[in-house]
């Protein structure tokens, strides 16, 4: 899979543009990482996909598509047409909506995702979870990590491949920064992502698959990726605030 858009620890990526779209921002970045034409449209405005919203600048295009994703993840129907439990957008992005968005094109095609509660895990169990994530997460196959306080999940982040051996990277849409996520940080109870420390939920790949393991996969991934129907939105850019749910 060839794309010019990559993120590693130390990189700066787009920020969420409203207090409640951290999940949508993560899913938009995830699509940029797996879909080169989509990334070129967001970054350079080239080759606007069918059904994509208007936007004169990179920030406007990201904000507009982020809003499309937020509507889609919280709607009565998932991107594939299946029924889904609706969720108020004021409460952020539900894990089941995020899972459907990943399966519908924000991750490599043909993958299934699982929702895994981890709030009650011990430090030892969290280290095992981290080790499994290192095995599962790879280029085009991210995970989502919901973090929060002792009582509530409050923020969504995007887990990205690290060295493929012992650590991962994590994109925080509140700051736009990509930082190292090793097992010590993951299990410490001091994650420090948008001010929230405790891991709550993972939306992770249900199984590891080889990248482009058939000629058919190679051909399909080379074709333009259709945009899920989302309609047009009004673009705006609002500085996010700590404590908002994404």
* pLDDT value, residue 127: 98
77 bridge partner residues = 83
Domain region containing 146 = 22-209
* pLDDT value, residue 85: 77
Confidence class for position 194, pLDDT limits 50, 70, 90: very high
| 165 domain-assigned | yes
Nearest to 102 by CA among 18, 175, 33, 161: 33
C-alpha distances in angstroms, 130 versus 29, 89, 127, 139, 184?
22, 30, 5, 17, 9
Distance of CA 192 to the CA centre of its chain: 18
| 67 domain-assigned | yes
Q: How far apart are CA 66 and CA 23, in angstroms?
A: 9
Q: What is the DSSP letter of 4?
A: S
| 238 domain-assigned | no
CATH number, domain containing residue 175: 3.90.70
Confidence class for position 2, pLDDT limits 50, 70, 90: very low
- DSSP states along 156-178: EEEEEE-SSSSEEEEEETTTTEE
The number of distinct structural domains making up the chain is 1
pLDDT digits (tens, 9 = 90+) for 82-110: 767 777 788 899 999 999 999 999 999 99
Q: How far apart are CA 181 and CA 243, in angstroms?
A: 22
- DSSP states along 173-229: TTTTEEEEEEHHHHHTT---BTTB-EEEEEEEESS---TT-SHHHHHHHHSPPPPPP
| 99 domain-assigned | yes
pLDDT digits (tens, 9 = 90+) for 122-147: 999 999 999 999 999 999 999 999 99
Distance of CA 166 to the CA centre of its chain: 21
pLDDT at 190 over 90: yes
Nearest to 62 by CA among 25, 98, 33, 92: 25
| 195 domain-assigned | yes
| 28 domain-assigned | yes
| 177 domain-assigned | yes
* pLDDT value, residue 3: 46
| pTM score | 0.82
| 101 domain-assigned | yes
Confidence class for position 4, pLDDT limits 50, 70, 90: confident
Distance of CA 180 to the CA centre of its chain: 16
């Amino acid at each position: 899979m060839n794309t010019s858009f990559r993120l590693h620890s130390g990189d700066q990526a787009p920020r969420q543009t409203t207090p409640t779209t951290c999940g949508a921002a993560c899913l938009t970045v995830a699509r940029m990482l797996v879909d080169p034409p989509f990334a070129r449209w967001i970054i350079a405005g080239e080759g606007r996909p069918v059904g994509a919203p208007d936007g004169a600048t990179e920030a406007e295009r990201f904000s507009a598509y982020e809003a499309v994703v937020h509507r889609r993840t919280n709607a009565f129907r998932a991107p594939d047409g299946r029924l889904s439990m609706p969720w108020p957008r004021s409460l952020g992005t539900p894990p089941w909506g995020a899972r459907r968005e990943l399966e519908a094109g924000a991750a490599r095609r043909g993958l299934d995702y699982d929702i895994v509660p981890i709030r009650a895990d011990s430090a030892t169990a969290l280290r095992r979870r981290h080790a499994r994530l290192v095995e599962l997460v790879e280029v085009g196959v991210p995970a989502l990590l919901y973090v929060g306080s002792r009582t509530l999940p409050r923020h969504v982040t995007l887990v990205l491949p690290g060295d493929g051996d012992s650590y991962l990277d994590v994109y925080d849409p509140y700051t736009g920064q990509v930082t190292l996520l090793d097992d010590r940080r993951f299990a410490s109870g001091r994650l420090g992502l948008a001010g929230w420390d405790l891991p709550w939920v993972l939306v992770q790949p249900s199984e590891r698959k080889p990248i482009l393991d058939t000629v058919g996969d190679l051909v399909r991934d080379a074709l333009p990726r259709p945009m899920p129907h989302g309609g047009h939105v009004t673009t705006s850019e609002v500085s996010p605030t700590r404590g908002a749910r994404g």
